[in-house]
Amino acid sequence: METIRPARIEDAERIAAAERATVSADEGLLAARPHEVSVEGHRRRIERAETEGLYIVAEADGDLRGHLILEPIGYESLAHVVQLTIVVHPGCRGQGLGRRLMNHAIAWGRRSERIERIELRVRSTNPRAVRLYESLGFEHEGRMRNRIRLSDRYADDLCMALWVGGAAEAGGADRT
């Protein structure tokens, strides 16, 4: 049976291994290179999520199958914003888990009294992820051209966001 639960410190090693495998197999999915994915980095993010943000994993039959992080940015003016990272682990993709993790995170965001906006950047080389976000209501907000350097070319980063706040979106630099 599959469970979606908060990540624990002891998950960090398996999470880092799954991320390294993901970026080793396809450099167009995540920004980090394999040597830049660290167990310590995930431990810190899991610890931080105990008080701010969200860090969840999907587990089935004792195996971790995916993880999702909603991280705060650290400024008071951005306290209503979290940044999304999601990785469904190799061998577990295309079975609805990404959508289940996303639905869980969006429901958490809607329940939160502080969080109103979930934002992300996704490589233009990752159509599966783009389609998933679009289908959940994330809107395209911009394109950062040639932001990601791959081994033989550049990829763009697409900026997407979902408003999960209760009130109507106020935003816009030229509006108050």
Ligand X SMILES: CC(C)(COP(=O)(O)OP(=O)(O)OC[C@H]1O[C@@H](n2cnc3c(N)ncnc32)[C@H](O)[C@@H]1OP(=O)(O)O)[C@@H](O)C(=O)NCCC(=O)NCCS
Selected binder of ligand X within 99, 114, 140, 149 (CB under 6 A): 99
Whichever of 120 and 164 has its CB closer to ligand X, that residue is 120
Q: Please give the residues from 19 up to 58 whose contact with ligand X meets the rule CB under 6 A.
A: 22, 29-30
Helices (H), 10-153: 12-25, 39-49, 97-111, 127-135
126 binds ligand X (CB under 6 A): yes
Selected binder of ligand X within 5, 33, 114, 128 (CB under 6 A): 128
Q: How far is the CB of 19 from ligand X (least distance, A)?
A: 8
The backbone region for 94, taken as left when phi is positive above 0, alpha when psi lies in -120 to 50, beta otherwise, is left
Selected binder of ligand X within 12, 57, 81, 97 (CB under 6 A): 97
CB 64 within 8 A of CB 14: yes
* Residue 105 DSSP class: H
Whichever of 80 and 93 has its CB closer to ligand X, that residue is 93
Of the candidate spans 43-51, 74-82, 89-97, 109-117, the one that interacts with ligand X by CB under 6 A turns out to be 89-97
Contacts with ligand X by CB under 6 A lie at 22, 29-30, 86-88, 93-99, 122, 126-129, 131-132, 135
